[in-house]
Structure 1
Amino acid sequence: MTAPTPEQFRRLAADRRVIPVVRRFLVDDQTPIGLFRKLAQDHPGTFLLESAENGHTWSRYSF
């Protein structure tokens, strides 16, 4: 799943400078860090966000 769709992206780009794009991947055999390294390779300024709940060090989501 990718959001927004290419059509929605073009419409939003008409009057916005920044548009968040989300894509879901099923990667049961990859760690968040390993996948990030593959996707962010040669793209400076990329980052990975990790979730935390109730004061714990980490939770179950990576963004």
Structure 2
Amino acid sequence: MERAIPLYESILHQREQVLGDTHPRTLVSRSNLAGARRAGATAPGLQLPSDPPEQPE
């Protein structure tokens, strides 16, 4: 999942630029990214890129 999320972000960015924000394929890409982030959030020990680093206790 760690490698998938940046790829989904890249694809979404490219589709937004080429196809526009409301194109059906752009919306599918946005949904795919959300699904990957949701799946990553439930994976034990996996941090999403937007998460702050964990601080040792």
Q: What TM-score results when the alignment is normalised by the length of structure 1? A: 0.29
Q: What TM-score results when the alignment is normalised by the length of structure 2? A: 0.30
Q: Which has the larger Rg?
A: 1
State the structure with bigger RCO (CA 8 A, min sep 6), 1 or 2.
Answer: 2
| Higher share in helix | 2
